[in-house]
Amino acid sequence: MDLISTDWRADAEHILPDLIDLRRDIHREPELGLQNPKTLAKIKAALAGLPLELREGPSTTGLIATLKGPANGRTVLLRGDMDALPLHEDTGLAYSSLTEGAMHACGHDTHVAMLVGAAKMLCAKRDQLSGTVQFMFQPGEEGHHGARFMLDDGLIDPLPDAAFALHIMPNAPRGVFSGRSGPLLASSDVLTITVKGAGGHASMPHDAIDPIPVACEIVSAIQTMVTRKISVFNPAVVTIAKISAGTTDNIIPETAVLLGTIRTLSAQSRARVAEELHRLAPGIAAAHGCSAQVHIEQGFPVTVCDDRAVQFGKAVVEDMFGPESWITLDTPIMGAEDFAYVLEKVPGAMFFLGASHEGDDWRTCCGLHSNRMVLDDSVMAKGAALHAAIAERYLADGFA
Taking the domains of the chain in order of start, what are their residue ranges?
8-185+302-397, 187-297
User: Is there a common fold for 8-185+302-397 and 187-297?
Assistant: no
pTM of the predicted model as reported, rounded to 2 decimal places = 0.93
Residue 294 backbone dihedrals phi, psi, to 5 degrees: -110, 125
Concatenating the DSSP letter of every residue in 247-312 gives SSTTEE-SEEEEEEEEEESSHHHHHHHHHHHHHHHHHHHHHTT-EEEEEEE-----EEE-HHHHHH
For the chain (length 400 residues), average pLDDT per consecutive 10?
67 97 98 98 98 97 97 94 97 96 97 98 95 98 97 97 97 95 97 98 97 98 97 95 97 98 97 98 98 97 98 97 97 96 98 89 84 95 98 94
191: left (phi over 0), alpha (psi -120 to 50) or beta: beta
Tell me how far apart the alpha carbons of residues 64 and 138 are, in angstroms, rounded to a whole number. Answer: 8
Tell me how far apart the alpha carbons of residues 169 and 368 are, in angstroms, rounded to a whole number. Answer: 7
Q: Considering all CA atoms of the chain, what is the largest pairwise distance in Å, rounded to the nearest integer?
A: 82
Beta bridge partners of residue 189, listed in sequence order:
262
* Secondary structure element (H or E) that encloses residue 143, with its range: none
pLDDT value for 276: 98
- For domain 8-185+302-397, give the CATH superfamily: Zn peptidases (3.40.630.10)
Q: What are the CA-CA distances from residue 39 to residues 23, 84, 138 (Å)?
A: 10, 10, 10
CB 394 within 8 A of CB 76: yes
Where are the strands (E) in 159-233, listed by range?
Answer: 162-169, 177-179, 182-185, 187-196, 200-201
CATH class of 187-297: alpha beta
Percentages helix, strand, coil for the chain, rounded to the nearest 5?
40, 25, 40
pLDDT value for 343: 98
Beta bridge partners of residue 165, listed in sequence order:
79, 350
pLDDT value for 5: 55
Tell me how far apart the alpha carbons of residues 240 and 214 are, in angstroms, rounded to a whole number. Answer: 14
71: left (phi over 0), alpha (psi -120 to 50) or beta: beta
